[in-house]
Structure 1
Amino acid sequence: MGINAHFELGLGGFSLDAGFSAPGRGVTALFGRSGSGKSTLLRCIAGLERAPVGRLEVNGEVWQESGRGRFLPTHRRPIGYVFQEPGLFPHLSVQRNLEFGWKRIDRSRRRVAMDQAVELLGLGRLLGRAPGGLSGGERQRVAIARALLSSPELLLMDEPLAALDLASKAEILPYLERLHGELAIPVLYVSHAPDEVARLADHVVLLQEGRVIHQGGLNEALTRLDLPLARDPEAAAVVEVRVAEHDERYQLTYLDFPGGRFTISRRALTPGQRLRLRIHAQDVSVTLNRPGETSILNVFPARLREMAELNGSKLLLRLEVGDAILLARITRKSADHLGLRPGQPLFAQTKALALLN
């Protein structure tokens, strides 16, 4: 069960020829620069653009197959669609906005209950208010809840945070993570922001000039040296960790992963809780021998798997640390001084860690 899509479409001077497969659960990010075809591909999936050549299958049901003349119109596709702008009805309260689609779904087909959507998006205190009195983040949370209450089999999100300021983005991201963790509805999430992809996605489809250049798991997309995300100035790897314990004496928290144990400042986390760490390539350095007297707490045995040139002075390293992959950005001079070569055992040390959730 999953999503299988392929569309070919010409729009003026732009050509889309993109196909991908995605899991039937979790968040799949459609990622690329502006103009790469992300939103056009999403509109094809929604049926808002009718591609002359196209096929779409969602969890075993064919919604579109141009070779057989099958095209399920948008209003018959069981989708929820969240745009950059919430598009709420200004004359209706939050409660009435939520009820608009929910009441039109037969009881037997309702997959999300009203109280579940309200609780997931934290809307309890907003139900009686008008959209005009809400912040941008609050309006977008209402729009997401309204989309969920249409009981979709597929949730489409087209850069839902693009119109929000940093504070509103920080407010809404934890709610999106809850959707990711608690609902079985697959999500296609369009974004050009690497930090959103790192925080939310399980699977990534990379687009460039209307073509899919890669699809696969999150960390592979982030760390493959031949892909654009690894070469971005903000390049980073994501590591799944489990909260191990707290050190009350030194006010530290320990996070376990297959390559060892990370140490971070004390956080209000529950032992056993699973989290994501984002580790920027610029914050990782390497050494041939385990450091002795050092203030850096996060040092791990590693193996250098690949090297790639970034420019005349910098190299990018792909490091294997247990089952995890890290990136390191170092100078060419440092690489020559250490005599680095693929396959070499090293020690990786990281100065900074970003807790994503």
Structure 2
Amino acid sequence: MLEVALRHRFGRDGFAIDAAFTAPEVGVTALFGPSGCGKSTILAAVAGLLQPHEGRVAVDGGVVLDTARGISVAAEHRRFAVVFQEARLFPHLSVDTNLRYGLRRAPRDATGPGFEEVVALLGIAPLLARRPGRLSGGERQRVALGRALLARPRLLLMDEPLAALDAGRRGDVLPFLARLRDAARIPILYVTHALDEVDALADRLVLLDAGRVLAEGAVEQLAARTDLPLAARRDAGSLITCTIDAHDPVRGLTRLGFPGGAFFVSLRAEPPGSRARIRLRARDIAVATEPPRGISTQNILAATLTGINEAASSHEAFLTLSIGPTVMLARVTRDSVTRLGLVPGMALWAVVKAVTFDHAAGHPGDEAAEPVPTPASMASWG
């Protein structure tokens, strides 16, 4: 487990960090928040690149920083690997030699993926003879990730590794990051302000604002909370982990199963049994007080209204819907709440149009999904 507690101020009246959180021994913990909230400063302090005024950092009980006890292990001895926005490869060395530099830094007794496995994992075998100047930005980042993993660190730190890439390149690199996460089997601290990266990669979320932790926990749990700044975003909604149950090529549909139900979406490429996590934006979900008929939407799910909460606008409200153990959010007008007589405990039908999942699949740069049709017994926001 990673344990972090830091306090630091830049100048007498400057920006201050006062943050504490934990991360599990395996998986990705995302530090998320607006620019200037302290994400990169926290990561720098964990890496040993910044000495905080007060703090403690430990990995699996091994303390690398404890200002109260006078402990501060130098950055090069912490066995933490850092991946920055820029790949920072050696320009005069080939990709192969850059990767092997990371391998040479690994302790003799350290375990982890081998050279060939990492090369295959990141799809960089065709690049081995090239130098960094002949690589695209996405290729350079994949090589930087491989070099970091081959050093076999105790902790992998990523400071917005995709921020310098355009939307297309980010979309290309994200699947490789997911493979790296699964293969590394170490804690990964990932700094980002891009919610699609959180959705695709993170197991745990630390939500930051003005140098302080607003909330921490499983990504799915925090996404469903309407009392956090996430709820004020245009893409606010629920995050649902699904399994690809089956494909129907004739109809052009894929069935995604989740605890409590299933979605039918446009045909996907992943094989049955694969896992997929999707974001359903609250504004793309309508509700009905009776089963809708005569509409094109197939994703009509029986639900129980378990809560009605305030939204950023006084004219809107968030509905918390339970579909078995799965929680889903819908954003509707206050007028709809009154007109439909919505109260907690009511049986409702959640209506999600299939094209919504084009955005929910997490492709960077997607445009807004087509709004759901709204018959008289249905309520939606738009």
TM score, norm. by length of structure 2:
0.90
- 1:36-87 CA-to-partner distances (Å, cap 9, x unmatched) read 1100110111111111211111112111111111111101101110001111
C-alpha distance after superposition, 1:182-208 (max 9, x if no partner): 320111100111111111111000011
| Contact 2:226 2:311 survives alignment (8 Å) | no
Aligned residue for 1:276, secondary structure, equals strand
CA distance in 1, matches of 2:170, 2:23: 26
CA separation of 1:309/1:235 partners in 2, compared to 1, >3 Å: closer, same or farther?
A: closer
What corresponds to 2:153 in structure 1? 152
How do residues 1-357 of structure 1 correspond to structure 2 at under 5 angstroms?
2-12=1-11, 13-306=14-307, 307-351=309-353, 352-353=356-357, 354-356=360-362
Deviation at residue 338 of structure 1 after TM alignment: 1.0
- Tell whether the 8 Å contact from 1:194 to 1:229 is kept in structure 2 after alignment: no
Question: Does the aligned pair in 2 maintain the 1:290–1:347 contact within 8 Å?
Answer: yes
Consecutive unaligned residues of structure 2, counting only runs of 5 or more, are 364-382
Give me the whole-angstrom Cα distance separating, in 1, the residues matched to 2:43 and 2:344: 40
Cα distance in 1 for partners of 2:152, 2:187 equals 12
Q: Which runs of 5+ in 1 are unaligned?
A: none
Report if aligned partners of 1:309, 1:316 keep a CA contact under 8 Å in 2: yes
Deviation readout 1:242-265 (Å, 9 max, x if unpaired):
111222432211111112111012
Which amino acid in structure 2 is aligned with residue 125 of structure 1?
Answer: P
Deviation at residue 270 of structure 1 after TM alignment: 1.7
Deviation of 1:108 (Å): 2.4
Q: Is the 8 A contact 1:42 1:156 kept in 2?
A: yes
User: Separation in 2 of the partners of 1:106 and 1:18?
Assistant: 31
How many equivalent residue pairs? 356
> 1:356, CA displacement in angstroms?
4.2
What whole-Å deviation, never above 9, does each CA across 1:113-170 have from its counterpart, x for those lacking one?
1112111111100000010111010011111111111110110000011110011101
SS in 2 for 1:340: coil
Contact 1:319 1:325 in 2 (8 A): yes
Superposition deviation, residue 109 in structure 1: 2.1
What is the alpha-carbon distance in structure 2 between the residues aligned to residue 111 and residue 246 of structure 1?
35
Partners in 1 of 2:210 and 2:199 — Cα distance? 22
> In the alignment, residue 234 of structure 1 is paired with which amino acid?
D
- Paired with 2:223 and 2:86, the residues of 1 have a C-alpha distance of 28
Letter in 2 for 1:240: T
| Alpha-carbon distance in 1 for matches of 2:320, 2:156 | 34
- Residues in 2 aligned to 1:207 and 1:180: alpha-carbon distance in whole angstroms: 22
TM-superposition CA deviations, 1:322-357 (whole Å, max 9, x none) = 222212121222121111223332111111122349
Q: RMSD of the TM alignment (CA)?
A: 1.5
**Amino acid in structure 1 at the alignment position of 2:165:** L
Measured in 2, the distance between the counterparts of 1:173 and 1:196 equals: 7
TM-score, normalization by structure 1? 0.96
Aligned with 2:109: secondary structure? helix
Contact 2:106 2:153 in 1 (8 A): no
Question: Would you identify which runs of 4 or more consecutive aligned residues in structure 1 move more than 4 Å?
Answer: none
Q: Is the 8 A contact 1:219 1:325 kept in 2?
A: no
1: CA distance, partners of 2:28 / 2:22: 13
- Paired AA for residue 163 in structure 1: A
The DSSP-based 3-state class of the residue aligned with 2:148 is helix
Deviation of residue 282 (structure 1)? 1.5
